[in-house]
Structure 1
Amino acid sequence: MTGRACVVVLNWQGRNYIRDCLRAALAQTYEDARVIVVDNASTDGSREIVRDEFPEATLVPLPENLHFARGTNAGVETALRDPECAYVMTLNNDTRMEPDALAALVAGMRDPRVGVVAAKLLFMDTGRINSAGISPTFDGSGVDRGWMQADKGQFDAALDVFGASAGAAVYRREALDRVGLFDGDFLAYYEDLDLAWRLRLAGWEARFAPGARVHHTYSASTSPRAIWKTYQGERNRIWNLVQNYPWRYAAVAVPWNASRVASALGRHLLRKRSPHTDSPTLSAFTSAIIRARLDAYAGMPRALEKRRRRRASLWVDPRAVGRWLRTYGVRIRDMPFD
C-alpha cells in the first residue's frame, strides 16, 4: 500500500509521555508519514517540548482545551489540507507504537471497502489487551474487544471488526470526506464509537490489524474511574443511540440498559469495597448518571437533527444493524465492570 499517512497526536499535559510517543511515531518503518501534534493548551511544558525537541513534527497549538473530539479534529483538518494525505492515524499521547505499527495499519486498507483499521492496543508493560477493536451494545454504548485479557495470541487474526478505538486507528481519507470527522458535541468518550457507526451506516467496513501493536498507558489525562468520564460516557451513549440506531433497535435499548445497570449494581453491592482507591461512591456515580441523562435529553433536538441528516445519506439497509449487533455485539453478562 502507498499514500501518505498523517499521524495526529492529541496532547494535553503530556510532559511525562510525549517524548516516548513522538520518538516512536517518528521512527516508523512506513516511509511516507507525517506527524502532526495538536496541543490542547497544555501548561506543563509539553507544548514547548514538542516545539523545541521535535521540529520534524507539525505543531498545532490551540488557545484552549478543546478536549478529545474537537482537538483531534483540528489535527485531522490540518492533515486533510495536505493533498498527498491518503490516510489519517489518530494516536493518544500516552502511547508507544512499535516500529511496524503504522505499516501494518495501512496494509489493512488493502480492500477499498475498508474505512478504518484498528490497532492492537496493549496496556503499557502488562501484556494485557486494552483494545482489539470496538464492539457495539444494544443500548448505545461500546466495549473494547479483548478488554483486560492477557495477550496470548487469541487476537492475532486480521479480521473484520465493528470499529476502532481512536486511541490508535487509521482512517481512509475518502471515508472521512464522506461521513465527516468526530462529533464535537461529544467532547470526549464514544466519539470514536459514533464515527464507527457513521462509517458502517455509509457502507464502509472496519478491520483489525494484529501486527499494529501500540502500547498505551490508558487514561493518563484522567482517572479511569473519574466521575467526569462516567458523565461523558452516559450522555454520549444516549446521543449515539438516538443518532445512529434504527428506531426498532433503539426501543430495545431501554430494557437492555436497565438490565445492564442492575447487573452492574448487583456486582457492586456484592463487593464489600472497591479495590480501586479512586473509585467514586455509589451516590456520586448515581448523581453523574442522572446529570448525564438530563443533559442528554436537553440536547435531544440537536441529536434528532443529526439523525435526520444521517438518514438522508444512508447506504445500508437498517436490517443490517441487527446483523451487526448479533455479529459484533456484546451480551450483558460479558460487559466489563471495571
Structure 2
Amino acid sequence: MLTMGTRPVELRALLDSVAKQREAASRIVVVGNGAPLPELPEGVVGVELEKNLGVSGGRNVAMEKLRSFGDVDVLVDLDDDGLLIEADVFTRIADLYEADPRLGIVSFRIADETGFTQRRHVPRLRVDDPMRGGEVTTFLGGGHALSMPMLDETGGWPDEFFFTHEETDLAWRALDAGWTIRYEPELVLQHPRTSPARHAEFYRMTARNRVWLARRHLPAVLVPLYLGTWILLTVARTRSASGLRAWFGGFFEGTRTACGPRRPIRWRTVRRMTALGRPPVI
C-alpha cells in the first residue's frame, strides 16, 4: 500500500479489512511516498521515503521490500482509500494462482459504496457488464495481485512513468512473456467514485506516458496507428481547453524525452491481444 499521508483514517480502515481476511497476508508493507507514516498496527512494515517517487517508484520500493523477505509468491497492491468488503479475497486469490501456474495478474473490480463500477474501471473495451470476468489485456491499479515469478521475469513498474499507464506497460510485458491476466469481478475493492482528472498533472502525464508506452513496446508500424487513435479520441472527449493544451504538451514531451529501453512486443502478442478484444491500437 502506498500513502502520501493524507488519508490516515482510510488507510487504517483498509489495514483493518486486510487483518480480517480469513487467509492472512504473510507480509504487509506500507510505503510513505514522500510523507511520514501514521502509527501502524503491529506487524505492519512501514517504509518512509524522503521523496515522492510516484505510483511506479513507490510500488517498486514495496515490491523490493517484500522480495527481501524471501517468502512472498503473490503481491497484492491496494489503494490507501480502498476497502476490502469481503473476508475471502486473499483465499480466492490463492486458489486462482494455485490453479494456474502461468497466471500473472489478477485485476479486482473497483466499486463505490453502492456497488457501482465506473466505465473506466472495467479493463475491456466493451463494458456493458462489469460482472463479466475472464482474460483481459490490462488491469486496474487500485486493486490487483501480481505473481512474483512473473515480476522476476518481466521486471517491475516503469519508474519513469510516475503515474498513469504504468499498469498497461507492465501488462504488455507480461502478455509478451506468455503470462495471463484475469479480471475477477467477484474480488471487490470498495473505492470512492472519483475522476482521474482531479490530479493537476493528469492530462500532461497521460499523454506523455501514452507516447512512451508506444515507443517502448509497439512494433514500429503500430506506433502511428495507436497514437493517432488516441489523438482523435482525446480531441473528441475532452471538454477542457486547458486540459487539451496540457495533453498536447505532454504528447510532444513524450516524443522528445527518454522513455527507457525499447522492447517491441511480438506479433503473436498483438494477435493474442486482438483475440482478447483489445488490439494494441486503442
Q: TM exceeds 0.5?
A: yes
Mapping 1:1-338, distance limit 5 Å: 9-12=1-4, 13-42=6-35, 47-50=37-40, 54-98=41-85, 99-109=87-97, 110-123=99-112, 125-130=113-118, 134-135=123-124, 146=127, 154-217=129-192, 224-265=197-238, 268=239, 281-282=240-241, 284-299=242-257, 302-303=258-259, 306-307=261-262, 310-311=263-264, 317-325=266-274, 327-329=276-278
Q: Contact 2:203 / 2:244 at 8 angstroms: preserved in 1? A: no
Task: Give the CA deviation at 1:318.
Answer: 1.1
Aligned Cα root-mean-square deviation (Å): 2.6
User: 2: CA distance between counterparts of 1:203 and 1:287?
Assistant: 38
Amino acid at match of 1:68: V
Residues 183-208 of structure 1 show CA distances to partners (whole Å, capped at 9, x for unaligned) of 00000111111100110111111112
User: 1: CA distance between counterparts of 2:217 and 2:140?
Assistant: 18
> How many residues are aligned here?
278
Q: Please state whether the residue corresponding to 1:65 is helix, strand or coil.
A: coil
Instruction: Give the gaps of 5 or more residues in structure 1.
Output: 1-8, 136-142, 269-280
Amino acid at match of 1:15: P
Amino acid at match of 1:234: A
User: 2: CA distance between counterparts of 1:298 and 1:258?
Assistant: 17
Task: Give the CA deviation at 1:158.
Answer: 4.2
User: 1: CA distance between counterparts of 2:169 and 2:57?
Assistant: 14
User: 1: CA distance between counterparts of 2:219 and 2:95?
Assistant: 33
User: 2: CA distance between counterparts of 1:327 and 1:239?
Assistant: 23
Larger strand percent? 1
Q: Please state whether the residue corresponding to 2:261 is helix, strand or coil.
A: helix
User: 2: CA distance between counterparts of 1:257 and 1:181?
Assistant: 26
Q: Which structure: larger Rg?
A: 1
User: 2: CA distance between counterparts of 1:32 and 1:260?
Assistant: 41
> Could you state the TM-score of these two structures normalised by the residue count of structure 1?
0.75
Q: Contact 2:174 / 2:180 at 8 angstroms: preserved in 1? A: yes
User: 1: CA distance between counterparts of 2:121 and 2:234?
Assistant: 25
Q: Contact 1:102 / 1:212 at 8 angstroms: preserved in 2? A: no
User: 2: CA distance between counterparts of 1:192 and 1:96?
Assistant: 20
Task: Give the CA deviation at 1:169.
Answer: 0.7
List structure 1 runs of 4+ shifted beyond 3 angstroms.
130-133, 154-158, 222-227
Task: Give the CA deviation at 1:56.
Answer: 2.1
Q: Contact 1:119 / 1:133 at 8 angstroms: preserved in 2? A: no
